[in-house]
Structures are given as structure tokens and as C-alpha cells.
Amino acid sequence: MNSAPTFAVVGHPNKGKSSVVATLSQNDGIAIALEPGTTRKRQSYPLRVDGKVLYTLVDTPGFQRPRRVLEWLEAHSVSASDHSETVRAFVLQHQGDSRFTDECELLTPLIEGAGIIYVVDGSAPYSAEHEAEMTILRWTGQPSLALINSIGPDDYSDTWHSALGQFFQVVRKFDAVRAPFEQHLSLLRAFGQLEPDWEKPLDQATHHLSAQREQRRHQAAGIIAKALHDMMSFQEKRTLTLDQVAGTSDSTLADQLRQRWYQHQRQREQSLRVQIEHLYQHQSIRRQEAELEWHSDHDLFSEDSRKHWAVSRRYLATAGFGAGAVSGAGLDALTLGSSLGTGALVGGLIGAAGSYLYGGKLSLPVLNIGLLQDGLKTATFGPVQDSQFGYVVLGRAVDHWWHISHRNHAGRDLLDLQPADHHWLERLDKKSRQTIQRTLDKCRKQQPLDGAQQQKFNAAIEQCMAVYDDWRLNRT
């Protein structure tokens, strides 16, 4: 028997089979629709971790004529000892028969040794018409497990559980869209108990999947840390010729650079989100906020984002950021301006960024215009002087990561990132707070991080993720 088990997901049409396959194979590219018959051909989806196939899910069409199939089987069987061979004979004889195309497609992987995952809709009443399907599956002699996947609001799972228990070795309730990760592992362990040859490979599979989940969190922390560094230190630059300087007012130039700076930051946040989604093998997510125009409540620079994700003054104080640091931020801005030449413009441009209201008392990006040299002048906007910007980016990034890391691959609804209360960060340990604040300060001053500082920053971000994960799970 193949060391990597194969499971055929079977059942009545439109009962959530493809959703189960999508979740257990971590593949959001599998077609899922409300109309029966979306799956017409069996399709294999191996789950790989580090290039190793842990197991394979086979998506199959639904039963169409189970009673007719069972009648044929009963007519051609002599005793219970030949049931599996009779099923094989049915498939071989009816290959190409249009009447039983779907049945042959779903039975083929079973006669080839696949385990059975039988899926029913627990929100629909149990019906005796399913008994023909279950009897056929029992005839195959393969290890079998039944899942009650409730699609609608009603609950008939108790009745289903009683009926399924007469045909299947294990019966579980499993919401393919919302089941937590631990339930995925529980199903694998259950199958390992049904088939001795699968116990070891499935035990290894649960180990690899758990390790992968930890590794993804670690990688996600590094991705978020990199984005934070980029966004805090980003500076929009433009070099102007003498003619351009003469034809462009300072206010026009400030507006152009400011808008480009805002656009870059929004796009960098979007690229961060795509990176996190792809890390967790979500390739096709549509986000609620992506459907909206900029400057909505979902926007990075909105008052709503500031309100939900900026940290309190008390938090800043515990992070080692007090009144002296506030003064220092303003001094940094003035020093930066003078270092670019006596023609630098510092005052007045803070007002040009007035739509970015993170408390209104900390320094914001300013426009600096250098001296004319060799017929050219360089104008810059940024980096941001407000560390609160970093906390807003951090809060939004960690919240997005949490939704993605807990999202099953069967989900097809819009990812709606409604802001949570930002006070979760108050639970972060003091050392991590200080590491994050020091790093944000270095970034806004465009000071490089050495390897040790980067590792500490990544670890502090990962600690933020752990705290947020615990906070979200405890409040639901």
C-alpha cells in the first residue's frame, strides 16, 4: 500500500464534498458552487509539505443512481465475501456507460485502495434514499469515515449520527468552512486508527502539518517586520530641473509627493497582505476593503484606522516613548530639513498632510527641497515621523494575518476585516514593546538594523501575533 494514503470524498451531489476537499488539501482553487454537478470528473489533490506528499484527497462526482447500482450488485453477488470484487466488476463493466458515469468515477479510487470520506449535509433531514449509497460504500470494504457537514441553519445531526453509525466506523461533525485546524488533525488521527498501514504515515502527517503551522507563523512575522521597516522608512523623492523648479510651486510639489507617498504606502500594505495570503496557500481571496474606494473607513489613512489601531499614551510610556521622545521627533524633522540645505521647507507642510490624524501632536512627513546643484534640485517627502503610523500598520497586519491563518480553504466569502479593539497590544510584554518602539524609531530615522536587531524585531512581532491569537480566541 502506498505510504501516502489516499482518501476519496464521496456522497450525494451538492452536500459539501468539494468544500471538504478544499479544506483538507489546503487548496482554495477547487471549484465550489451551489448547483449540483459542479464536480463531473474525479480529481486528485495531494497535500505537500516541504515537497513531501502527506496524503491525497480525491474529489468525486455525487451519486446519481445508487439504487440501480445496488440492484446490480445484489444481483451479481453470491455472498458477503465477494462484495468488494462485485463492486470492481460493476466499475469494469460499466466504464463508458453514460447511465453510470458518476458512479464509476467515484467508485474507481475506492477499488484502487482509497479510504472513504462520506459527506452528508446535517442541515437537511435524514432520508432512507441515502442507505443505498452507504450500502454500496460498505461493500467496497475500504476504511470509512463519515462527516456531517451542515450547510444550512437547521440541525439534524443527531438523526444523521445514529444512521451513519450503522455503516461507518467513525462519524464526526465537520464544518468544512469553519472547522479549526485541530479538527483537521483529529480526522487524520481517526483514519490512522482505522487502517494500521496508515497509522504511521498519518501520524507523521499531523506532525508535519503542526510544524508547518508554526513555521508559517514565524515566516509571517518576518514578512510583517519587513513591511513595517519599509513603510516607516520610506521616502518619496523627485529630482527637478531648473525649468521644472521654476514652473512648479512648493504647494503643488508637496501635494504631488504626498499623494505618491500615500499611494506607495497603500500599495505596500496590499503587497504585504498578498504575501501573507500566499504563504498560507490562499491564492484567490477577495477582500471586502478591496471593493471600496480609498479614503473609506477601511483605508490605511482613515480616522477609523487610527481610532482602532493606534496605541494609547500609556502604552507609549511603557514602551519607553515619553515626552522627551515626542520632542526628539520634532528635532529630528528639523535636523533632517537643515541637512538637505538651507532652502529646505519644514513648516507648513505638516498641514498638507492633515488628513493623516494620528493624534495631531507628533511629527508627520514633511517636504524638503535641497539646494540647486548642477542645475538640479531634489525634493523629498517622508519618512513618516509619527511612530503611531507603525502601530496602525502593525495592528492591521496582525489582524489580517489572524483572519488568514484561521481561514479554511473552502471559504469563498469576502474577507471582511472589521477592526477589532486595539487594546490587545496592552497584553504584550514590556521587552517586546520596547523592542518594537526602538525599531520604529530607527526606521523613521532611516537607520539600518543589524542582524541581531532584526531577529529581535521579528521575535517581538511574532509575540504580538501570539498575544493577538490568544486574545481573539478567548473572546469568541
Q: Tell me: the pLDDT tens digits for 281-299?
A: 999 887 665 444 444 667 8
- Over range 135-152, report the average pLDDT: 94
pLDDT per residue over 95-117, tens digit each? 999 999 999 999 999 999 999 99
Radius of gyration of the chain (CA): 30
Residue 37: CA atoms inside 13 Å, Cβ hemisphere, count?
2
For residue 348, the model assigns a pLDDT of 29
- Over range 112-133, report the average pLDDT: 93
For residue 241, the model assigns a pLDDT of 77
pLDDT per residue over 360-381, tens digit each? 334 457 778 776 677 787 888 8
For residue 168, the model assigns a pLDDT of 94
For residue 33, the model assigns a pLDDT of 60
Q: Which residue has the higher pLDDT, 53 or 375?
A: 53
For residue 355, the model assigns a pLDDT of 29
> 307: pLDDT confidence band, cut at 50, 70 and 90?
confident
Single-letter amino acid code for the residue at 169: Q
Cα→Cα distances 264→276, 310, 349, Å? 18, 20, 19
Cα 137 to chain centroid, rounded? 35
For residue 180, the model assigns a pLDDT of 92
For residue 439, the model assigns a pLDDT of 95
Average pLDDT, the chain: 83
Single-letter amino acid code for the residue at 360: G
For residue 350, the model assigns a pLDDT of 31
Cis before residue 383, ω within 30 degrees of 0? yes
DSSP-derived secondary structure letter, 260:
H
Quick one: residue 281, left, alpha or beta (phi over 0 = left, psi -120 to 50 = alpha)? Answer: left
Share of the chain above pLDDT 90, in %: 59
> 415: pLDDT confidence band, cut at 50, 70 and 90?
confident
For the beta sheet containing 115-120, the strands, ordered from the edge strand earlier in sequence to the opposite edge, are 43-49, 52-59, 6-11, 115-120, 144-148, 170-173
* Dist. CA 191–CA 114, nearest whole Å: 12
* Dist. CA 14–CA 177, nearest whole Å: 15
346, pLDDT greater than 60: no
Single-letter amino acid code for the residue at 356: Y
* Dist. CA 83–CA 138, nearest whole Å: 9
337, pLDDT greater than 60: no
Cα angle 77, 114, 150; round to 5: 100
- Over range 137-141, report the average pLDDT: 97
Cα angle 137, 139, 143; round to 5: 60
